[in-house]
Amino acid sequence: MWLTTDAQSTIVVIVAALLISLSTAILAPFLPAFAWALALSVVAYPHYERLARRLGRRGVAAGLVVSAFTACAMGPVIWVVEKLAVAAVDGLRQLLPLLERREWESRLGEHPRLVEFLSWLEQNFRLHGAAADLVAQARQAVPALAAWSAWAFLQAMLILFISFFLLRDGPRLLRLAERLVPLTSAETRLLVRRMSDTIHATLFGMIAVALLQGTLGGLMFWWLGLPAPLIWGAVMTLLATVPYLGTFVIWVPVAGFFAAQGRWGDALLLVVWGSFVIGLSDNFLYPMMVGKRLHYHTLVVFFFLLGGIVVFGTSGVVLGPTVLAITDSFIRAARRRLRPRHQGAPLGSPRSLALPR
């Protein structure tokens, strides 16, 4: 062949890099599904191992675990959707008579300063025009919403599909990773352990914060005398686990309903409680819990979590902290290679991004 060996090697490396880039672009849309499947597999793997040893068939055990997860996930989702639909119908049934009788105008008249403020908003921000534009945009968004729902359903099916193979073929995939990752076997095991710890801390931290938010919301509903505060607290707990949604899906319409009834004090109290007490607990408590368990500073976890959501979307809840753990592991490996005197030190030392124990 007319090319030298070095030239052939260079071409092979370039073609490999281009193909890796192409493969990354092809697989990028499925990254959220893989991230959640990885999180599910890491959490469920100990239970899967026990079931696989008892049954003696890894495929059957993986199928049973995935089926159990599907049943546990779909039940709460159906329950929340049913509760939200019933609440929406009841709210409209009670709100429409107020709007038809225009009682809200007389109640607004009891608060002259509020009327002046709304008039100022109308003059400066064209509230009626903005509302009409919003309605028009909402109508145009219906096809996009339908397409998004179909894509979300496909992602959910992919999560279950990927989880099955991650559970069944976990050991083989780990051995493959050891061959592909440019780390020693001991460093690779440390990396896998750090990723597992990060995923556990992320998910259990998210669940703990969601329980707290649901409890705070239920307590406020009980304080305001709303019906079924326990049920609505449970609904807010489940919604708090969904990025881009959250408890405000419940308390914002309730605050608006209070305002339509003229209960301005209750509406303001609910808005303040929901915005500052419930809302900020997620931003501060969750990074603090995850950082404490992983020995990272709260500020580092906060920005990796927030940046993960910005870059990856909802899957950034898992991918952001996981990228932090991977980065930390590679920084440790690089420092050991750059400082030969530390070769005899244990793998956990020196620390890079982690706080001292």
CA gyration radius for the chain? 26
Q: Which of 26, 69, 53, 23 is closest to 162 using CA atoms?
A: 69
Give me the pLDDT at residue 149, please: 65
CB 48 within 8 A of CB 165: no
SS3 240: coil
**Separation between Cα atoms, residue 122 and residue 289, nearest integer Å:** 44
Q: Which of 251, 225, 259 is closest to 103 using CA atoms?
A: 259
**Separation between Cα atoms, residue 319 and residue 311, nearest integer Å:** 10
Give me the pLDDT at residue 266, please: 87
SS3 354: strand
SS3 296: strand
Q: How far is CA 352 from CA 23, 196, 297, 302, 342, in A?
A: 32, 19, 12, 17, 14
**Separation between Cα atoms, residue 302 and residue 76, nearest integer Å:** 28
Q: How far is CA 94 from CA 104, 196, 226, 258, in A?
A: 13, 49, 14, 11
SS3 357: coil
**Separation between Cα atoms, residue 302 and residue 21, nearest integer Å:** 30
User: Tens-digit pLDDT profile for the chain (357 aa)?
Assistant: 566 777 777 888 888 889 888 988 888 888 888 888 988 898 888 889 998 898 888 888 889 999 888 888 777 777 777 776 776 666 556 655 554 444 555 555 555 655 555 565 555 555 555 555 555 555 565 566 566 667 777 888 898 899 999 999 888 888 887 787 777 878 888 888 888 888 888 888 888 888 999 899 989 989 988 887 888 888 888 888 876 678 888 888 888 878 777 788 888 899 899 888 888 877 778 888 888 778 888 888 889 988 888 888 878 888 889 899 888 888 888 888 787 554 444 554 444 555 544
